[in-house]
Structure 1
Amino acid sequence: MAETPLDSIPSIFQELRAEFNSGKTKSIAWRKRQIEQLYKMCDEQKEVFASAAHADFHRPTAETLLYDCGVIRNECVHTLNHIDEWARDEYRSDSLAYATMDKCVHREPYGICLIIGAWNYPFLITLSPLIGALAAGNCAILKPSELAPNSATIIAKMVERYLDPSCVRVVLGAVDQTQALLKGDIDHLFYTGSTMV
């Protein structure tokens, strides 16, 4: 697994921030396309994912196909079925004092989401939060666990191949890369792991 150079991490944040500020990720069509591509990735590459998980920690193929690829695909379908509803403005009339005013909840993306994965379900715990981040219109940085190096390498290759690389990036490495990411311009963090970290 080739680690991401530490000095490249600030430029990753700058590039993602510029892309987010361009408004590209606010498009519902763009969001749907990314989630469709994520589904396609998990469907077309499921055997590759299973081989990587087996090489990392001898996990049975069926477990990766069911718990990683199957769950992610189901979540993609669910999200695609509901994204229009979730993105729609919500008008409210919940208070007599403000009855004459139009009240609206308008959902806005956060910006850049950092997703730090775990070794035991490297695809599920890294890619599942990505679905929500993309559905909400965010850019994302994925940091797969260095304890599953084959899976991390596959995630990096496949994300670059299937998803928009100007809005979704993968950083490979260990503690130094994670610390550099945590010092970056993060708007939302998804993390599964030990409190010691």
Structure 2
Amino acid sequence: MSWYEDGIERLRKGFSSGRTRSLEFRTSELTSLIRLLSENEDFICEALHKDLRKCKFETMVSEIKFTKNEAIYALNNLRGWTEPESVVKPFAMKLDQCFIQKQPLGLVLIIGAWNYPLQLTLTPLIGAISAGNCAIIKPSEISPHTSDLLVRLLPKYLDKECFAVIPGGPDETSYLLTFPFDKIFFTGSPAIGRLVLKAAAEHLTPVTL
């Protein structure tokens, strides 16, 4: 069994255990992600400079602080997002209790972009964590130093039974897309977006492009 089968099975078991659903778990993982950003600023700036020649100021503002603020916003609103939402009841259901309870989808695949390789990879992850999902993160191979950094850092800060990072190029991404996911989040070109959507259609997987 390859890492793909083994890793996906492990993450699905992590989701099936129910651990990602609790408010405590989501809060803990988001807090850990903020800690990752705060404790590794120099490494992140170095990686982005090697990949894209971004200066430290640009990286701090558009990558680190932007992503950190997204996580803080999620933390501040998490309880409200998870509470049942009241709905107007039709006459025939006046005696019933009616509400909307948002539920996590399951295993999410996040395919990041090269031009903002931290922000456009971790902000969808923040959404996945906030919604109670597990996730596989596929950073862009065009920003290899940032990709390698995410491969090293994310397992140190996030629950390895619920989150994983897979490096690689088009071949690895294409193979990954043959597996069924519960949601795919992709940022990139229209041409690749069509391929992602076509692969997702095989499993009727909802996609955000």
CA distance in 2, matches of 1:80, 1:190: 21
Q: Counterparts of 1:27-38 in structure 2 under 5 Å?
A: 27-38=22-33
Match of 1:68 among 48, 60, 63: 63
Aligned mate of 2:142, from 136, 147, 164:
147
2:167 maps to which of 144, 154, 172: 172
1:85 is aligned to 2:105: no
Q: Give the match's secondary structure for 1:140.
A: strand
Deviations 1:4-48 (A, max 9, x none): xx9311111111011100111111101100000001111111221
1:54 to 46, 49, 53: 49
Q: Which structure is richer in relative contact order (CA contacts within 8 A, separation 6 or more)?
A: 1
Identify which range, 142-151 or 8-17, moves more after superposition. Answer: 8-17
Deviation at 1:185, TM superposition (A): 2.3
Distance apart, 1:121 and its partner CA: 0.4
Deviations 1:154-197 (A, max 9, x none): 01111011111111100000011111211112101111001211
Q: Which amino acid aligns with 2:98?
A: K
Which segments of structure 1 move beyond 4 Å, counting only runs of 4 or more? Answer: none
Structure 2 unaligned blocks of 5 or more? 193-209
Q: Percent identity?
A: 34
CA contact (8 A) 1:113 1:141 kept: yes
For the aligned residues, what is the CA RMSD? 1.3
TM-score (norm 1): 0.94
1:42 to 2:15 alignment: no
**Matched positions, count:** 192
- Gaps (5+ residues) in structure 1? 1-5
Q: Given the two structures, how large is their TM-score scaled by the length of structure 2?
A: 0.89
In structure 1, how many angstroms separate the alpha carbons of the residues matched to 2:176 and 2:60?
30
